[in-house]
Each structure stands twice: as C-alpha cells, then as structure tokens.
Structure 1
Amino acid sequence: MRQFRDPRTGRLITQLTDRGNNVHLYFTENAFDLTRPEIIFRSDRAAKQERAPHENPHYNLFRLNYLTGEITQLTDEDQPVGSVTKTPDSELIAYLTAGKVKLLNTRTGKTTVLYEDKGDYNLYSPSISPNRRYVGFARNERVKAVNTNVNYGGFKESFYQIKDGRITLARTDGSSWFDVHCDTHWLGHFQFAPDDPTLAMFCHEGPWNLVTQRIWLLDLAARQVKPIFRQDEQDSVGHEFWTQDGLIFFDNRGPGHDGTITSAKTQAVVQSPSPDNFRPYVGLMDREGRLVRRIEMPFYCNHYHANPSNTLLVGDDADNLVLIDISGEQARLEVLCEHGTSWHTQASHCHPTWSWDGKRILYASDRGGRVNLYLLEL
C-alpha cells in the first residue's frame, strides 16, 4: 500500500493494490466486511498471464486487510470469476464463473455449485437473501455475440436482441434451483431487499433512454412484479440500489441520457443533448412505490452511493470523486479527489461505495494502465 495526497484537494488517499488488475464488488453490493477491517475483491494477481483490463483477465477472489495490507487468496478457479456478492460479514460469497453460480463459505472453506448453465443463458447479478437461504440471479438468453466490455459496445444491440430474461433462485445448500419470474426483456441488477427475503428488485437493462420502465419490485412469495417509480416519456432512470434502511435509490437524468460514459467522456448511444426544460434529480422510493424524497441535481454523476443515513452521496463525475450533501433542501457538492480513470471498461469504472459505518469510501481507477483500488477516509 502507499499513501498520497490528492493534488487538487489535499485529501489523503491510500492506494490498496499495486499489481495486476483489482476490482471491488459492483456498487449495488458492498465490498466491505461489516465486522473486520477487510474488503473482498477480484484480482488477476495470481494469474499466469498478465492482461490489460479489456483482455478478459483471469480474476479470482481475494480478501484484503486495509489496515495491514495483508491479502489472502480465497478461490483458485480455472476460469475467470465474474460478478460477486456476499453477506455483510463476508461469511458467504456467491460468484459466477464459467456458467456456474458458486457459493463459498469463508469460515469452512467449502465451495458449493448452486447452478450450472447448459449454454443457453448468460448469468448476471447474484444476490444473497438476508436469511441466507437463497442466492438469486438474473439469466438472459444467449444471443448474437456482442462485446459489452469496452465502452459499452453492444449495449444497444443486446437491449433489442434479448427477449428471454429470467430471475432464478438457488438454495444455498445446493439442493435445487427454480425460476421465479420470466420476462421478455434483458434483466439485470437483481438485489434482495436488505431486511426481507421475500422481496427483491431487478431492472430492465439497456440504454436508459430506450427502457420504458427500468425498476421492478418482485414479490418472491406471490411471484408477482410491480413497477417502482412509474416512468413518463421524459424519464431516463437507472443505477438503482437498496439503501441500508430499505429504501430504493434511483437516478433520473431525463431525455437525452443513456446512462453510459465512454473513454472519450461521451455517451455510448445518445449523441444529442438533453432538453433544457428537464432538471436531473435523484430519488428515494419506499417498497410501495411512493416517492419519499426527490433531490434535484444541477449536475449528474455516473454512479452514486448513499451513506448509512442517506444524508451524503458519493459520486463519480467524468474526472473527480465528489461528496454530495443531500441533508438539506438543496444538494451541495464538494470535490473529494481526482480519480484519473479512463472509463474504458466496466472494471475501470470508479463505482465508489461507502463502508457500512460511513467512514470510508472505496473506489477503483485504471490510472497507470491497470485497475487498482483506492481508499479515502472521511
């Protein structure tokens, strides 16, 4: 590890990793351990071949103590580890690899295969239920091969091609799996509610300006879905996640926004500017679909994540990590640091996330050519 001060703000930042590519959990998850000063992350540091972030690095799972710098390898998979989720205490880690959903018990070291695809579907967005009985995930039909790793290549094409998307639950004891919802759209961002194993959220994936209803709540007992935040024509909505207290956060950028950013710092799908009569905002919804708070944004970030009390957001704009105070009537923005990422791949997106106690922010950057992890303490 090394520490340095941001040249613009003077804030002290700790670079946690310095070899290979290192990617923390997606921003809808939380890489921090609730009970220990550790994070869970993916890295190709143990791979036999060094690859750039866009060259499909051979990732495995690791644990890092951010106070001592000690790193422990947790998996040794023959194929790269993809999407990852875990319980807050990191006892259970679910991950995707080679068309399989696997569950690792970090206390016992036992790994269980929960689901194995026969080649018909791609797997997305695993999530562990709060009672630890199920791992849920999205699976979408395999369509004409498109590259979605670099600058959102194939993003629009996948939106139009995928007509068979499913939400699947697998029992954590490995005994069985079953579909709880079948759809005619590309599905993603599956997330169990943090406090109710019978409720989950998922999205219709694709360019935000083309998706007519992004966020859906799924009653897993009744097998019924309902829209959360009913969209109108001008709404372009995305980057939804559960807050720690069980609300649903979303970002509404309005018409002219597809929810992407490329390494040219442009959008991947939409080229025309948004109308001047729409002001972007973020919102908090309850699970009945009621808007609890609407916070207008005179700016927008690529991703947001909320602190435990929903009073502060961390966001990543094109060049900087920013802190946004939403405790009052108007949002107030403060620059935290320059992140220096290229935005070239999903792995290099900053995806800043708060620690469970709201004292630290973790983010990624490919400054220097490889993806590394950085920690900022408030």
Structure 2
Amino acid sequence: MTGIETTGKGKRWPSERKTSVDRLTGLEVTQLTDYKAHSHHLYFTENGWYDRERRLLFVSDRGNSTNLYSMDVESGEITQLTDYEKNNALDACLLPDGSAAFVKLGSRLIRLDLSTLEERVVYEAPAGYHLGNASSTSDSRHVLTCVQEDLSHRIRLDLGNGYVGHRELMEAAPHSMIVRIDADSGKAGKVYEANKFITHINASTTEPWLMTFCHEGPWHLVDHRIWGLDLRTGEAWRIRERLEAGEKVGHEFFYPDGTTIGYHGFRADGTNFFGSIRYDNTGLEETEFGFDTWHGYADGLGQAVVDGKGAVKSLSLWRKQNGKYEGPRMLCELRCSFHSQKVHAHPRFDERGKRLLFTSDKNGYANLYLIDIPERFEELPIFRP
C-alpha cells in the first residue's frame, strides 16, 4: 500500500491473516489482524460472530481512531463499519439475529444496520450520567444497558486503564439505572435502579425476560457481585453467594442454555476456581486450580478456558471426562499484558466449541487470534507455569 492511508465507512481492507506454529504446543495459531494499532474482539460476554459464523465484529484503532469493523473470517477481508474521528473508546453488542449491532459511543447508543451501515441513535444517557455496556435480549427485540451517576468531579477515574477510582466509586454508591430499549423504535424504559455502582449488563442467551448485572467494585469488598433480574417484574436477587469470608467471584457470563451462569473466582488462601450455577441458585459446580487468572470462560459443551496472569503466559484448557473437568492442559502461548481493557485476552469459544478466539499484544499491539481446539485433549501438554 502506498501514499497516505485513509479510513472510512465501507472501506475494504485486504486480509492481514497469517499463521504460525505455537512454540508450547505445536498447534497452528491464526493471527487475524496485523496492524500497528490495537485491534480486539468484543467483550468476552458478547458474541461477535454472525452470518453463520462467517463474519466477526471487532474493534480497531487503525487510522488513529477507534471504530467498529467486520471480518470475513475465511478470506480475511475487513470492512470498516463506522467512521468516528478522534475517538478513543467504543463498545458494541450484536443482535442475535445478526441484523444490527448496537454501538456505545460516549453517552450515546447507536443502532448500526449491518447490511446498509445506516446508523441511528436509539438512546442517550441522561445529563449527569455515564452510559454502561449494552447487551441484546435473545429475541432481538430489546437492548439492555445501564447508566451510572457521573461522579468524576469528585473522584479521579480511569477505569479502563488500571481501574483507577474503582474502589472509591463503589464506596460513593452512585445512583444507577438499568434501561430496556426497543431495538427498532428506541423507546426506552427504566427497569431497575439502586444507589450502587451497577455494570456488567448481560442478557440471557435464550430467555428474553432474564438478565444479570453486577455491583461493581473490588470483588472481595462489594456487598455482593452477581445479581439476577426478572425483566417482567423488576425483581432482583443474589446469585452465587460467598461461601467463605474474603472470597472473590465475578466475570459472570451466560452459558448457551441461557439459564446457567459461568464465573471464576479466588479464595483468601490463594486458591482459584471456575464454576457455574443456574439463575435460581441450583446446580452449583466448581473446579479448583492453583494459579491466578484474569478471566475464565466455558462453552457449555464440556470445555473451559482461563487466560492466566503474572507468571502464567499460556491459555489453559479443561475438558469434561465422565462428568468431571480434567486438566489444565496448555492450548497455546498467550503473553498478553492486560495493561488496559484494549489488551485483555478475553478468550471465547465459538458456538460449537471448535475454535477459540482471543486477543494478545505479544508483538506490542493487540491483535485477534484464532486457534482450532484439538479433538484429542490428551495430546495437549500438561499445564506448567
């Protein structure tokens, strides 16, 4: 490519994909993006695959501004979907029917038609409030989000880069609201409110009436982390109460069945675990392991993955055998810095549990990577730090 590189809505970018053999496991890893700016997939609770998993949404800072892109995963060709100038942050969620994405841009939530690329503002946070993340209901009729009272005039905040002000904002108990928005008309209504730092909005993958949210803050200090909400009645309840003092549980997500909630956690003695529980607090199942991690994820089909932190530089995989998780075994090298949200690994299985998508900045910039999960679990090397 020669001359001055330009960006713009609808611009096509040639494939950047390349493959390499992982030095720890010998598996082939596909690097999907290769650009001297950060690129990452959607937050790990949000599915970015659409068009029968032939296309993938991702966020990139190319052109010195953060925008949303779509990739043809087979060919690698990239299409730019938005054209926001001098922008540094963007979140998105996908309607389950694949027709539109909802883009969080500052205080606005924008509906983006994935066929025409037409954009329409469907919601704006009230004055004096920050807009949180968005998640679409399973019937594609509504999108859920939250707003929190803006206390930046009282508290120094930089939550995306080192969680600056995280504890202070929790202790300040900002007024927060959960809002349900009609995905077509934009008609919005408050479904829940509390004087708590509410974030991590997560719609059930099968039940349009069910969602989870969290009381944000350091996990061992919040009154309780994971909450369920019945959108029909406004009733909220605690999910997965602490089982011992000082326990930390979070990073919750829905399994494909839409009624089971996965999470990971830490105990005061240093033990780590990942687990699952139904929305009604039945069916608790947990697996312990002996190293620290940033995130855990499960495909609901008998596989779980964690990304590790500190000395752990690999992705670790478990697989159920005779009803019990066996592992961990190393899937591939990760070497992700986790310095900011843009460079979090956020590993996520595809719908069939055959591929794992993750982000790593091992070459200096965050890029998207994809690896096929081997059929024979026992051929993977046993985990070692």
Could you tell me which residue of structure 2 aligns to residue 43 of structure 1? Answer: 60
Could you tell me which residue of structure 2 aligns to residue 97 of structure 1? Answer: 105
Q: Give the alignment of 1:1-378 within 5 angstroms.
A: 1-19=17-35, 20-33=37-50, 35-45=52-62, 47=63, 49=64, 58-78=65-85, 79-80=87-88, 82-144=90-152, 145-232=156-243, 233-246=245-258, 247-255=260-268, 275=269, 279-309=271-301, 311-318=302-309, 319-327=313-321, 328-378=323-373
Structure 1, gaps ≥5 residues long: 50-57, 256-274
Cα gap change, 1:67 to 1:113, in 2 (>3 Å): same
The code of the aligned residue for 2:319 comes to D
- Percent identical across equivalent pairs? 30
Contact 2:255/2:298, CA 8 A, preserved across alignment: yes
SS at structure 2 position matched to 1:167: strand
The code of the aligned residue for 2:366 comes to V
For each residue in 1:121-176, what CA deviation from the matched residue of structure 2 results, as whole angstroms up to 9, or x when unmatched?
A: 11112011112221101111111241122222222222223421111111112342
Query: Shift of the alpha carbon at 1:283?
Result: 2.1
Query: Shift of the alpha carbon at 1:212?
Result: 2.5
The code of the aligned residue for 1:290 comes to T
Q: Structure 1-normalised TM-score?
A: 0.87
Cα distance between partner residues in 1 of 2:92 and 2:67: 10
Cα distance between partner residues in 1 of 2:96 and 2:293: 26
Query: Shift of the alpha carbon at 1:296?
Result: 2.6
Cα gap change, 1:91 to 1:80, in 2 (>3 Å): farther
Contact 2:318/2:325, CA 8 A, preserved across alignment: no
The code of the aligned residue for 1:282 comes to F
Cα distance between partner residues in 2 of 1:280 and 1:160: 26
Cα distance between partner residues in 2 of 1:103 and 1:76: 14
SS at structure 2 position matched to 1:159: helix
Cα gap change, 1:298 to 1:81, in 2 (>3 Å): closer
For each residue in 1:108-130, what CA deviation from the matched residue of structure 2 results, as whole angstroms up to 9, or x when unmatched?
A: 43322111124411111201111
The code of the aligned residue for 1:97 comes to L
SS at structure 2 position matched to 1:335: strand
The code of the aligned residue for 2:118 comes to K
Structure 2, gaps ≥5 residues long: 1-16, 374-385
Could you tell me which residue of structure 1 aligns to residue 5 of structure 2? Answer: none
Q: Structure 2-normalised TM-score?
A: 0.85
Contact 2:96/2:139, CA 8 A, preserved across alignment: no
For each residue in 1:175-222, what CA deviation from the matched residue of structure 2 results, as whole angstroms up to 9, or x when unmatched?
A: 421211101111111111111111111011111111131111101110
SS at structure 2 position matched to 1:291: coil
Cα gap change, 1:156 to 1:61, in 2 (>3 Å): same
Query: Shift of the alpha carbon at 1:359?
Result: 1.1
Contact 1:296/1:330, CA 8 A, preserved across alignment: no
Cα distance between partner residues in 1 of 2:159 and 2:287: 31
The code of the aligned residue for 2:314 comes to N
Cα gap change, 1:63 to 1:110, in 2 (>3 Å): same
Query: Shift of the alpha carbon at 1:357?
Result: 1.5
Cα distance between partner residues in 2 of 1:225 and 1:118: 23
Contact 1:314/1:324, CA 8 A, preserved across alignment: yes
Highest RCO, 1 vs 2 (Cα 8 Å, sep ≥ 6):
1
SS at structure 1 position matched to 2:49: coil
For each residue in 1:49-80, what CA deviation from the matched residue of structure 2 results, as whole angstroms up to 9, or x when unmatched?
A: 3xxxxxxxx21111011221100111112445
Contact 1:35/1:89, CA 8 A, preserved across alignment: no
Cα gap change, 1:222 to 1:118, in 2 (>3 Å): closer
Query: Shift of the alpha carbon at 1:307?
Result: 1.7
Contact 2:71/2:79, CA 8 A, preserved across alignment: yes
Cα distance between partner residues in 2 of 1:229 and 1:94: 30
Cα gap change, 1:115 to 1:71, in 2 (>3 Å): same
